[in-house]
Amino acid sequence: MIIPTHLLPSGPPKGFPDPFTPLFSLLSKRATAHPIHTIVAIALLASATYVALLEVSLFETRSDDGLGWGFGGNDWTKTALNGAATVQLSQKGDWEEVNGLRQSEAASRLSLVTLSFPPSQQHQAIAVPSNVSAKSAAKPLPVTSSNSLAFSVPYEETTSFLSQVGVISTGKEIDADGLLNEQQIFWVANEAGGKNISDNSLSALGLVGWVQNSWESFIGLIKNAESLDIAIMAFGYLSMHSTFVSLFLSMRRLGSNFWLATTVLFSSGFAFFFACFTTHRLGVPINLILLSEGLPFLVVIVGFEKPIILTKAVLEASAAQRRKAIQNQDRNKGTSIQIAVSEAVQQVGFSIVRDFVIEIAILALGAASSIQGGFRRFCFLALWILVFDCILLFTFYTAILSVKLEINRIKRHVALRKALEDDGVSRRVAESVARENEWPKVIDKDGKLISDDELSKDGTTNIFGRKVKDSNIKAFKVLTVTGFLFVNILNTVILPFRDHSATSVVTPITPSQLNALSIAKRGLESIAQSATPGTIVEVLHPVIFRPVVHDDSSLPFPTTQQNSNLFTEDAVGSRVMQSLLKSLEDPILSKWVFVILAMSIVLNGYLFNAARWSVKDTHVGEVEVPAPVKAMLPPAAPKVSIPVPEIISTEAPIEKPTGDRSDVNVLVNILKSDPKELSDTEVLRLCQVGKLPIYALEKQLKDTSRAVAIRRRVVAGTKSTITNSQYLAESKLPQLHYDYDRVLGACCENVIGYLPLPVGVAGPLVIDGESYWIPMATTEGVLVASTHRGCKSINSGGGVTTVITGDGMTRGPCVSFASLARAGAAKLWLDSEEGQKIMKDAFNSTSRFARLQTIKCALAGTYLYIRFKTTTGDAMGMNMISKGVEHALSVMANDAGFDDMEIISVSGNYCTDKKPAAINWIEGRGKSVVAEAIIPKDTVENTLKITVDALIELNISKNFIGSAMAGSVGGFNAHAANIVAAVFLATGQDPAQVVESANCITVMRKVNGNLQISVSMPSIEVGTIGGGTILEPQGAMLDLLGVRGPHPTTPGTNAQQLARIVAGAVLAGELSLCSALAAGHLVRSHMQHNRSAAPTRSSTPAVGNGSVNGGAVMPAGLTMTRAN
């Protein structure tokens, strides 16, 4: 808004309590606890308000300032005042129609009220209403029609007069025998109980008629308006629409292209409906002209900054909660969407509500001012708009934000699972990893975390971070559908009970009879005879009356006791029910109901089917791995036992096979029925006799930890290798406390344990303005320390600047043809636009992330080598691209006319993968990165202990000339592979791809006396999902770098950032090692860091005491270390 509230403090003054945040935080918590219910309830309430606004004829096309505020009274008396024609008596005695005159400018002000009755055969003469107060100043006037009465009333008493003539009694009806009938005939003003033919409301004219009437009124206003007024209004509408555009652009920057901005407009629209209804009920007349003139400026002044601020705060709070959950900072504390929204409200709630209060206070001053015209009324309406907008912001819109966060969670979950599946990870492992990395975790009513096993046991689903039973979801759907059907059935059933007599006796009155000025012509002439010049007369539209016959006991008027029958026309319950049923017949509301239904279906697809995206949808043949069970190991190897909680099964007990357990066949039957009944010794026996292969232990035992323990004993007891493997079962190779479920089907087979590797960090290193600790897993001393020194030197010059020059993984299959002509034709077809398009469409259809970039072909005799280069998102992508290549070659053979093509191998070494090759050095593979840094001269001399010129000379002689003399391909560096391998091991990358990922050329130049150093690495092959990245230790290192998993908005960004980090680390390592070599510090530094004393001649190793295999002695230093 224009008021500079941003200069005010964001919180209450010190020592003063916050009066706003606790209340609205409570509202937000209630709304976000049940967001779907909140959204549906508020939408239905807004729809009912819309119907009520139509029934009270709020949106009329003409207005008058009327009688000021006019709180209270009958609603029809106020609507009767709208649309009055204003005339003034001139000096010549003529009546002239005027507009915009204030009451103070007139000598006197009167109202001319005309009462119109349909022709009546029983009542030829219509008398003055008998129930009109004697104190009334109304004077009967002559009229043009015999079926009309006209009265001159002082303007300030018009409402009082109209309220008294709303119902006119004619006494008892006399039947044909001359006897009094128990029924009475009343003249009822149609404004009091029905629709006036002169009503210009939407409900009366219909949508088309209302639009036509509004357009005519708009054209009339334009013709009579001044040019300055038109320019101001045009500017207001342009500014309003620019505010809408700004809202959508702001929400797009926050990650929502359409829906959040749309729901903000819905929330404001609902607030407008509620405010209009409240204003009308309080007696303040509102019309379309007033709204059309004021709303644009209200929208521009207030704007949509508050929902934007709240949205940003909620998204930031949710991201912070997710980061804490990923980094295990709140391991024992449950986090949920509700907590994130609550934290955001507590953070920005005070400032938002404070702005609302300031704006409402200013509008309240405007409403209480003495400014004439529509200013006071619009300020009063705008005040209520802001009140309801504030309430809906912390209820309806926070519920929308909860749905948005839940949809984001589901999208992240599905995207990660599908990306892992595309990379070759099994569905079970992919689902497990996706669940482990999703946020929010499921919590119970006490805020405690609920495991996935508990969810699967109870048949529940994670929705909005809460444990929700499937039965609750079904019940909600059933109740919604049942309620909708009940309303329609009730509408049909009560049709026979509706009273249609009231409308059946109305005699139509043609519009020509309702011309106000023509009917009031004689009345104006009569007033002119006694009035003074300058007198103003408000000529009201005729009030239409209709006859109604009622018993004394069921008069439908406030002064008479009403019947309590549910289906009575004017019973309170009936009016509510009829209003509800009638709303379903409204053309606009019916379309709104269909819109809500469509949105509900979409939302159901995202939320209520989330359970179907879980691990329940498993592929046939995959192993279902339950929680680890207790392993029964013999006393000889007590360290292999795996103590876990006992699993209590709720299923029917399985009948145990009976028989001699020394019989192998009996053990096989037990293994098939219930492997938990077998001891580890019995399982070991099955492996030894060949009944249970060691590669199938996990599948058969359904316990990965137990399978690892037994496999160790099987390997240790293998006769052919017992000389070397006999101590494996009791060796110091760890096996406990590891999640083997993630390893199965993803990382390794025939697992016998895990190998701890020291992990160090170098840095922090500034890369493109961000600081990173570089994790390095290595057993080489001084490597981390040297890289750390390089990071410090680089940071002194401002850090590393990196550029991604290419991103595309490759696969090069080999195909063969019977003749060279056919092989040449295939190459020409692949190089053509048609071939490229067909192959690209086929390849891209296999994955959401893989997108084919180029195809490069090479011909060797009848062999054709095709190098596919494609993006793979955040995965390294070898499995993903292999699947695409297979499908593309199949399409080429079957649909492109190359059915004689023979696929020799999906990988024909033209990729080239895990081998040094010039094509990777020239064309690039994976991520191609160039990193550069400027090292100040002082840093080179004081920290690195060398000169710039000496470094440049060493780089030329060693990295350039030396590598060229050796015939190196991509090896024009000092030790890039050292850093690449260490980072790869720490972050779960494929160690074999260090071969091509370490391709690097290091360039050094002298610039302004400083050292400019850069590394160009054209083939860094990394990924942040799939492979070893799904393991928790490696995933933790990716978390340290902030690149774990797929990027939430731009696939591939995380993998590219990891490649930049690798290049930056290589740059630091190159700088430090080259400096050490140039200064002659290399050997000395290794001795200082890796030796406790100066090296001496080693003594002859002592022989071992034991001997095997007929007395052959093994040196003690070569024997496997034992645990004891």
Structure tokens at 771: 């600081």
Angle ∠(1083,1088,1091) on CA atoms, nearest 5: 100
Structure tokens at 878: 């070898």
Structure tokens at 83: 């649309």
Q: What phi and psi, each to the nearest 5 degrees, are found at residue 89?
A: -80, 120
Task: Say which amino acid occupies 901.
Answer: M
DSSP state of 600: H
User: Looking up tokens 């293998």, which residue turns up?
Assistant: 718
Catalytic residues, by residue number, are 780, 914, 990, 1086
Provide DSSP, 483-552.
HHHHHHHHHHHTGGG---HHHHTPPP--GGGG-HHHHTHHHHHHHHHHPPTT-EEEEPPPEEEEEEEEEG
SS3 957: helix
Q: d(Cα 375, Cα 1090) in Å, to the nearest integer?
A: 85
Is 795 in contact with 765 (CB distance < 8 Å)? yes
Judged on CB neighbours under 10 Å (0-12, 13-18, 19+), 139 is middle
Strands 1010-1020 vs 926-935: parallel, antiparallel or unpaired: antiparallel
Alpha carbon distances (Å) from 280 to 79, 366, 582:
11, 18, 21
Angle ∠(874,875,880) on CA atoms, nearest 5: 130
Q: List beta partners, residue 180.
A: 174
Dihedral of CA 1106/1110/1113/1118: which sign?
negative
Q: d(Cα 723, Cα 725) in Å, to the nearest integer?
A: 6
Task: Say which amino acid occupies 488.
Answer: N
SS3 839: helix
Q: d(Cα 582, Cα 589) in Å, to the nearest integer?
A: 10
Provide DSSP, 886-911.
HHHHHHHHHHSS-TT-EEEES--SSS
Judged on CB neighbours under 10 Å (0-12, 13-18, 19+), 445 is exposed
Judged on CB neighbours under 10 Å (0-12, 13-18, 19+), 480 is middle
User: Looking up tokens 């357990």, which residue turns up?
Assistant: 661
Question: What contacts 698, CB < 8 A, 6 or more positions away?
Answer: 623, 625, 704, 707, 740, 744
For residue 182, give the H/E element and its range: strand 180-189
